[in-house]
Chains A and B, each alone.
Chain A
Amino acid sequence: MVLRIKSFAQGQPLSALSADTSICGGRGLSEFAVELRDVTKVFGEVVAVDHVSMGIRQGEFFAMLGPSGCGKTTSLRMIAGFERPTSGEVYIDGKPMGSTPPFRRDVNTVFQSYALFPHMTVEQNVGFGLEMKGVPRAEINRRVKEALELVRLPQMAKRYPRQMSGGQQQRVALARALVNRPKVLLLDEPLGALDAKLRKEMQIELKALQREVGITFVFVTHDQEEALSMSDRIAVFSKGKVLQIGTPLEIYERPNCRFVADFIGETNFIEGKVKQIDGEFAVLESDGRCFVGRAGEGLRVGAQASLSVRPEKAQLVEQPMNSANCYEVRVHSVAYVGSDTRVIVMLGDQHFDIWEQNSLSTLDPNYFFGPGERAWLVFRPENALILAE
């Protein structure tokens, strides 16, 4: 399959900001803009980050995704320099950070609460970083103006943060960070405080902005859809550990463990024992039935494992088919949701979700399965994944 996503920034003239970035921001020689090597952070009894290693490439939009409390913020704060790793090391542009304080690191943060200075106007807020670096006044003024234009708030320069809406404050926070042309921009759930509609808009805008300025973005979120739609690569966190790092496609189509399969998108699990492994594929026996699917990592014959099938990758048919993974089921419930029909069937005593795309325009209610009907569930081995426990 080929994914074709049109770049939002395509054809747009690059702003002066991005033009300068290549000179002043300076892409370093290191492959990774940020690298964590075996980083652990312990707070008292709590292991917030547990032996995490990852490399964030230059110019990448990198998401750290995971449920609340899994150590995303702590990882981000160690990159920013607000926390020091208990063990391991953070590298920025190839240089070990050690105890380098935040104000000597070439990174900037967009805080979840925005953390705008309430006693300064928008332009004073945005100019603060440049002022601290001793940039001449005239250049500060010029760059602040550019940055405010970049986030489309040029007319708000004289306002105080409290006179602005949440979305506008968010843009100011972005401008305040970007104006410094950092090597890496760290964003901690930057869209978390916005309402759903504004969040969607900002997702698109943020992604476009990242392409425009070409700065490496490290983006923390607990919203998997947000991570999938915006990122070049995603690191999935759970309980302080990084479980998988990959492109959205890899993470969704080839989760490497049950947690990732479960956390990203929807999926059906069938638990059983591994009966056979044959190269790329394996057979799982569950409740007397045998299922064939792609073999995940670390699978052993005889061990407990789960088969994961996404609801949109399974079908319901009226007649049994002579193929692998075809089992009789009883339709439990049917929900027509416009684009899809979402059917829940009973496979033995287990619920199984199937989303069928409504690709045919029809008003005939008999076209759909009805509750209580007998049907056959099928899915292709390529569309199922057998994951070790």
Chain B
Amino acid sequence: MIQALREHPALRLVALMTPGAFWLAVFFLIPLGIMGVISFMSRDAQGFPAPPYTLSNYQNIIRDIRFAPSLSLEGGLSIRLFEGLYLDLFWRSIWISLVSTLITLVIAFPVALFMAQLPRRYRNLALFAVMIPFWTNFLVRTYALQFMLRGNGPINTLLRSLNLEPIELLFTPTAVLIGLVYGNLPFMILPLYTSLEKFDWTMIEAAHDLGANTWSAFTRVMLPLVSPGLVAGSILTFVPSIGSYITVDLMGGGRTNLIGYSIAQQFSASVNWPFGSALSLVMMIIVTIAAVIYFRSSRGGSRAVI
């Protein structure tokens, strides 16, 4: 048996893949299939999925979309051509997730850069520090964050002691954003750090030598060369943001609705599994498309490096 594995690389590959493939099949693909089926079902008297099969769940998502051009300055400039209940929901989810990814990136990059430049013996210590939050349950950490932002929490206490107006943070979109950035930060720092640690600093010297100032050296040489970490970190941040539930619930207090939260509502409070399933699948498709576009557009940089 071992002998056969040694001699046949193809066999070895199959043997290595089997446990993972089995796991994925049983706990991911089959439930996904079941969800797919449910999304085409109706509800019985108790609200549980039942035949007849129908397209109405999907129709409900797009039914109210209408052409309504608008321009608003709320939460940054936004130009809209269409609106509709779920369209808005998807749009807002993507928007907030994008913004949170961007903020996370801007905060994480200097941290990762700093870590990568530490003397070797301190780097593992820094990595350890980044991972410490994982030792506490996410729910607990989110409650702690909630406490921080409360009307009489530490932030507002500080503001008051400085004779400044307290700000209403909790249960606002800003609070959701803060929660998302906080929760996702390690997932951005770690892949960025991995890329930056491998970064060859003579590249920057070469760029300077050829007349590139600091900004050009950063954008033309460093960013493309660390793009694998950039892409990985962004996807690890963007995707969980869109589907986030705990953060939206605890930080947004149900007032800032994101698609992941809506889906959870359908499965619990509204007891509408078929509609929840349909929303989930649409979200999955959108996220997949977004990720593919992102991968494609950043491949120019990473292709030469990987």
CB closest residue in chain B, given A82: B205
Per-residue 0/1 for B196-212: is the Cβ within 8 Å of any A Cβ (1 yes, 0 no)?
00001011011111111
**By the criterion CB–CB under 8 Å, are B206 and A119 in contact?**
no
With A102-B205, A109-B206 given, is the CB distance from A117 to B221 under 8 Å?
yes
Q: Given A132-B216, A160-B304, are A117 and B206 also a contact pair (CB < 8 Å)?
A: yes
Which residue of chain B lies nearest to A109 when distances are taken between CB atoms in the complex? B209
Whether B305 sits at the interface, judged by CB under 8 Å, is yes
- Which chain B residues lie closer than 8 Å to A101 at the CB level? 208, 213
Q: A117-B221, A118-B225 are in contact. Are A103 and B208 (CB under 8 A)?
A: yes
By the criterion CB–CB under 8 Å, are B225 and A132 in contact?
no
Interchain CB contact under 8 A, B205 and A119: no
Q: Is there a chain A Cβ closer than 8 Å to B301's Cβ?
A: yes
Given B212, B225, B304, which contacts A103 in the complex, CB threshold below 8 Å? Answer: B212
Contacting pair A102 B208 (CB below 8 A): yes
Partner of A108, one of B202, B210, B220, B224: B210
Report the bound CA distance from A118 to B220 in whole Å: 12
Q: Which of A100-147 contact B (CB under 8 A)?
A: 101-103, 107-109, 111, 113, 115-120, 128-129, 132-133
Chain A residue numbers with a CB within 8 Å of B300 are 119
Contacts A111-B205, A117-B221; A180 near B304 (Cβ below 8 A) = no
Question: Quick one: which of A82, A108, A120, A176 contacts B304, CB cutoff 8 A?
Answer: A120
- Evaluate contact between A103 and B211: CB separation under 8 angstroms: yes
Q: Which residues of B contact A48 (CB under 8 A)?
A: none
B19 nearest CB across to chain A (Å): 35
Please indicate the chain A residues that have their CB under 8 angstroms from the CB of B225 in the complex. Answer: 117-119
Cβ of A128: which chain B residues have Cβ within 8 Å of it?
Answer: 207, 210, 212, 220
Q: Which residues of chain A from 175 to 203 have any CB-CB distance to chain B below 8 Å in the complex? A: 176-177, 180
Chain A residues lying within 8 Å of B212, measured Cβ to Cβ, are 103, 128, 132
The residues of A that contact B210 with a CB separation of less than 8 Å are: 103, 108, 128-129, 132, 176-177, 180
Report the separation of the CA atoms of residues A102 and B211 in the bound assembly, to the nearest whole angstrom: 7
Q: How far is B207's CA from A281's CA once the two chains are assembled, in angstroms?
A: 54
Check B211 against A132 for contact (C-beta < 8 Å): yes
- Give the residue among B203, B224, B301, B303 with the most A Cβ atoms within 10 A: B203
Are B206 and A111 in touch, CB under 8 angstroms? yes
Counting from the closest, the 5 A-B pairs by CB-CB distance are A129-B210, A132-B211, A115-B206, A119-B304, A102-B208
Show the binding face of B for A, using Cβ within 8 Å.
200, 202-203, 205-213, 216, 220-221, 224-225, 300-301, 303-305
Query: B-contacting residues of A (Cβ < 8 Å)?
Result: 80-82, 101-103, 107-109, 111, 113, 115-120, 128-129, 132-133, 160, 162, 176-177, 180
